[in-house]
């Protein structure tokens, strides 16, 4: 067995927050029954929405492709049980705070019949890394820690850059969320099996599975399983329980003491980070032909009768899951998808569980921020910022809508962790302001990119027209030369053709 190690780098700032995880970790993972209706959003990943390939009225089987991936950062979507497609229409989704987005709606038939695999399973290490990555793409697998970046594209990008270190993120530092903890306790074998597959696809020679020290059951189980696998390339590391040590860049800093540069990527320091749930999903797809059709999610908070962790089909509505967990308590006031720090509050429980849904949290009160007062320049926000930003400076520049200064002060590096909000004695909603400012900057960047694309199209059109004109002129010159030797009648004919062409132009 690989003993957990502690040779850690240092995390700047962060906070020790009450975990509130005991209620949901007291029992094993429960399977939510297949609901009567499944709602599958076409955009469950960072890239372009998937394109539906099924029609209304069509019967589908569990695991069948219902929408193909589109664009360079796309991911496909699969039916998560058998039944009939009854609609392809906008439906409230959590990513848009309950606003609608296009979804495939399936009325299930209760048979849960699976599609037959097209290919016989091939041992993963018999496949070349690029073929293995392409196969991972077909499974619809995206980062399950919340970022939902398609796993295959992340692997391909990292392979091109010669990345050799894989980090599996089991650091679940946000309060209330415990789905990764219970997954590590119950499916350590799938996580380690997934690590081996990811390492092969990446060409990595080492992997660290990183867990917080307040998860002794997960650490013991992973340690036991590592002993059984006997793969010396994979080690287990513990980190202290500090929020937000599970942020990608923060984790790399802690585990390797390497600092991802501002505006950079983990691959800049030779690392690739994947969530432990993603590793298990890769294992299920490559070893058992099961695409990403379900996930473990925590349903918890004082507003839920029986807090627990459930394995739910993607597309099950939050209402169905809360019902399975005993329903709402009389304390229920606020529904959040995700954790209390980074989650999104939604106005309806009709939203479906998607690949990103790690937690369904029902709080007993809407957090009150108190009356906002002017900044007193105490510097507390800077002391806790894990990215070493100056939130007070960012705040002033956000109020002034000064894009140049916001960029200069590193707004785009803000991970929206909310630590600055929690400590601000003036109750300034810093993170919400930063989120809005980032949105505005992104809109400007999108607008610039659109204008640049239009400019390039315009120039390309002009160049094409010029090329066509040049070639017509050359042709006329050639004909003139021929006519000169042929006589006046032929010259008159060429001049007439030129006049006709100018009229056309
Ligand atoms: S914590 Fe609040 S009051 Fe203190 S410097 Fe930051 S923004 Fe200003
Ligand atoms: S929300 Fe942004 S600015 Fe505030 S502490 Fe987190 S990373 Fe720093």
Considering the chain, what percentage of its residues have pLDDT values greater than 90? 77
Q: For atom 8 of ligand 2, which residue has the closest CA?
A: 385
Note the ligand closest to the C-alpha atom of 250: 2
Look at 380 and 497; give whichever has higher pLDDT. Answer: 380
Give me the mean pLDDT over the 477-492 stretch: 77
pLDDT of residue 440: 87
What average pLDDT does the chain have? 92
pLDDT of residue 369: 62
Distance, first Cα to last Cα, the chain: 79
Would you say the CB of residue 385 lies under 6 angstroms from ligand 2? yes
Taking the centre of ligand 1 as the mean of its atom positions, its distance from the CA of residue 409, in whole angstroms, is 16
pLDDT of residue 505: 59
Give me the mean pLDDT over the 482-497 stretch: 74
Q: For atom 1 of ligand 1, which residue has the closest CA?
A: 424
Q: For atom 2 of ligand 2, which residue has the closest CA?
A: 414
Taking the centre of ligand 2 as the mean of its atom positions, its distance from the CA of residue 417, in whole angstroms, is 5
Listed as own residue / partner, the contacts of 127-132 with beta carbons closer than 8 Å and 24 or more positions apart are 127/200, 129/159, 129/200, 129/201, 129/202, 129/203, 130/156, 130/159, 132/197, 132/200, 132/201, 132/286
pLDDT at 30 over 50: yes
Residue pair 37/314 in contact (Cβ under 8 Å)? The answer is no
pLDDT at 135 over 60: yes
Look at 417 and 476; give whichever has higher pLDDT. Answer: 417
Would you say the CB of residue 416 lies under 6 angstroms from ligand 2? yes
Taking the centre of ligand 1 as the mean of its atom positions, its distance from the CA of residue 242, in whole angstroms, is 21
Q: Which residues pair with 60 in a beta bridge?
A: 83
Q: For the sheet containing 271-275, what is the strand order? A: 234-239, 206-212, 165-170, 271-275
Q: For atom 7 of ligand 2, which residue has the closest CA?
A: 414
Note the ligand closest to the C-alpha atom of 411: 2
Q: Which of 245, 341, 375, 417 to mutate to test the pocket of ligand 2 (most atoms within 8 A of CB)?
A: 417
Would you say the CB of residue 430 lies under 6 angstroms from ligand 2? yes
Q: For atom 1 of ligand 2, which residue has the closest CA?
A: 416
Q: Which of 214, 209, 211 is nearest to 165 (CA)?
A: 209
Strands 206-212 and 83-92, how do they pair? Answer: unpaired
Q: For atom 5 of ligand 2, which residue has the closest CA?
A: 385
pLDDT at 1 over 60: no
Taking the centre of ligand 1 as the mean of its atom positions, its distance from the CA of residue 425, in whole angstroms, is 7
pLDDT of residue 146: 78
Query: Whole-prediction pTM value?
Result: 0.85
Residue pair 245/173 in contact (Cβ under 8 Å)? The answer is yes
- pLDDT band for 477, please (50, 70, 90 cuts): confident
Q: How far apart are CA 33 and CA 316, in angstroms?
A: 9
- The sign one gets for the Cα dihedral 278, 283, 289, 290 is negative
pLDDT tens digits for range 427-476 = 999 999 999 998 888 888 878 888 888 899 899 999 999 999 999 999 88
Give me the mean pLDDT over the 62-77 stretch: 92
Would you say the CB of residue 425 lies under 6 angstroms from ligand 1? yes
102: left (phi over 0), alpha (psi -120 to 50) or beta: beta
The tokens 């295959």 sit on which residue? 152
Would you say the CB of residue 382 lies under 6 angstroms from ligand 2? no
pLDDT tens digits for range 303-341 = 999 999 999 999 999 999 999 999 999 999 999 999 999
pLDDT of residue 450: 83
Parse the chain into domains and list their residue ranges: 22-299, 300-363, 372-479
Q: Which of 376, 384, 420, 425 to mutate to test the pocket of ligand 1 (most atoms within 8 A of CB)?
A: 376
Would you say the CB of residue 377 lies under 6 angstroms from ligand 1? yes
Q: How far apart are CA 13 and CA 419, in angstroms?
A: 9
Phi, psi (5° rounding) for residue 65?
A: -70, 125
Closest atom of ligand 1 relative to the 376 alpha carbon: 3
pLDDT at 6 over 70: no
Rounding to the nearest 10 degrees, give the CA dihedral for residues 447, 452, 454, 459.
170
Q: How far apart are CA 342 and CA 361, in angstroms?
A: 12
Question: Encoding tokens for residue 358?
Answer: 């790690």
pLDDT tens digits for range 227-244 = 999 999 999 999 999 999
Would you say the CB of residue 391 lies under 6 angstroms from ligand 2? yes
pLDDT of residue 489: 73
Closest atom of ligand 1 relative to the 430 alpha carbon: 7
Note the ligand closest to the C-alpha atom of 431: 2
Taking the centre of ligand 1 as the mean of its atom positions, its distance from the CA of residue 415, in whole angstroms, is 18
pLDDT at 3 over 90: no
pLDDT of residue 7: 52
Taking the centre of ligand 2 as the mean of its atom positions, its distance from the CA of residue 437, in whole angstroms, is 13
pLDDT tens digits for range 85-130 = 999 999 988 876 667 889 999 999 999 999 998 777 789 999 999 9
Taking the centre of ligand 1 as the mean of its atom positions, its distance from the CA of residue 254, in whole angstroms, is 27
Would you say the CB of residue 249 lies under 6 angstroms from ligand 1? no
Q: For atom 2 of ligand 1, which residue has the closest CA?
A: 424
Considering the chain, what percentage of its residues have pLDDT values greater than 70? 96
Give me the mean pLDDT over the 51-71 stretch: 95
- pLDDT band for 351, please (50, 70, 90 cuts): very high
Q: How far apart are CA 351 and CA 300, in angstroms?
A: 16
pLDDT of residue 4: 46
Look at 270 and 97; give whichever has higher pLDDT. Answer: 270
Taking the centre of ligand 2 as the mean of its atom positions, its distance from the CA of residue 488, in whole angstroms, is 83
pLDDT of residue 8: 66
Q: Which residues pair with 166 in a beta bridge?
A: 207, 272
Note the ligand closest to the C-alpha atom of 410: 2
Q: How far apart are CA 219 and CA 84, in angstroms?
A: 43
Note the ligand closest to the C-alpha atom of 428: 1
Would you say the CB of residue 378 lies under 6 angstroms from ligand 1? yes
Would you say the CB of residue 394 lies under 6 angstroms from ligand 1? no
* DSSP one-letter string for 112-147: -PBPPPSS----GGGS-HHHHHHHHHHTT-B-TTTT
Would you say the CB of residue 415 lies under 6 angstroms from ligand 2? yes
Q: For atom 6 of ligand 2, which residue has the closest CA?
A: 417
Closest atom of ligand 2 relative to the 391 alpha carbon: 3
Q: How far apart are CA 152 and CA 74, in angstroms?
A: 10
Q: Which fold has domain 22-299?
A: Rossmann fold (3.40.50)
Give me the mean pLDDT over the 147-151 stretch: 90
């Amino acid at each position: 067995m690989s003993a957990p190690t502690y040779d850690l780098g240092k995390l700047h700032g962060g906070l020790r927050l009450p975990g509130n995880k005991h209620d949901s970790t007291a029992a094993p993972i429960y399977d939510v029954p297949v609901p009567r209706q499944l709602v599958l959003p076409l955009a469950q990943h960072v890239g372009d929405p998937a394109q539906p390939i099924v029609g209304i009225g069509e019967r589908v089987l569990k695991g069948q492709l219902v929408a193909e991936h589109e664009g360079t950062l796309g991911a496909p979507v699969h039916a998560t049980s058998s039944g009939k497609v009854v609609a392809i229409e906008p439906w409230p989704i959590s990513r848009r705070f309950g606003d609608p987005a296009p979804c495939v709606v399936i009325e299930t038939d209760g048979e849960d019949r699976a599609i037959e695999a097209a290919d016989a399973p091939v041992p993963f290490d018999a496949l070349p890394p690029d073929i293995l990555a392409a196969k991972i793409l077909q499974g619809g697998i995206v980062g399950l820690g919340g970022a939902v970046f398609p796993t295959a594209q992340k692997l391909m990008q990292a392979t091109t850059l010669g990345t050799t270190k894989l980090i599996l993120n089991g650091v679940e530092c946000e309060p209330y969320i415990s789905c990764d903890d219970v997954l590590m306790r119950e499916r350590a074998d799938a996580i380690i099996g997934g690590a081996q597959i990811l390492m092969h696809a990446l060409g990595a020679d080492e992997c660290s599975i990183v867990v917080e020290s307040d998860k002794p059951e997960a650490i013991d189980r992973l340690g036991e399983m590592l002993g059984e696998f006997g793969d010396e390339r994979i080690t287990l590391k513990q980190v202290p329980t500090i929020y937000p040590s599970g942020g990608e860049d923060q984790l790399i800093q802690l585990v390797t003491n390497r600092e991802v540069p501002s505006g950079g990527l983990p691959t800049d320091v030779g690392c690739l980070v994947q969530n432990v749930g993603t590793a298990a999903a890769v294992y299920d797809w490559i070893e058992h032909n099961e695409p990403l059709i379900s996930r473990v999610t925590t349903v918890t908070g004082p507003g839920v009768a029986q807090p627990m962790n459930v394995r739910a089909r993607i597309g099950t509505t939050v209402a169905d899951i809360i019902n399975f967990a005993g329903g709402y308590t009389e304390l229920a006031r606020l529904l959040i998808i995700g954790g209390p720090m980074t989650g999104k509050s939604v106005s309806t429980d009709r939203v479906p569980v998607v690949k990103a849904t790690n937690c369904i949290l029902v709080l007993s009160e809407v957090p009150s921020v108190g009356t906002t007062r002017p900044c007193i320049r105490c510097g507390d926000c800077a002391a806790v910022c894990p990215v070493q930003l100056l939130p007070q400076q960012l705040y002033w520049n956000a109020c002034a809508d000064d894009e140049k200064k916001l960029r200069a002060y590193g707004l785009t590096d803000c991970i929206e962790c909310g630590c600055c909000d929690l400590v601000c004695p003036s109750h300034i909603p810093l993170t919400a302001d930063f989120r809005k400012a980032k949105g505005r900057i992104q809109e400007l960047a999108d607008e610039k990119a659109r204008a640049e694309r239009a400019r390039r199209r315009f120039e390309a059109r002009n160049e094409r027209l010029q090329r066509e004109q040049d070639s017509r002129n050359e042709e006329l010159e050639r004909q003139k030369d021929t006519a000169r030797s042929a006589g006046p009648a032929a010259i008159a004919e060429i001049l007439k053709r030129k006049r006709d062409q100018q009229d056309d132009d």
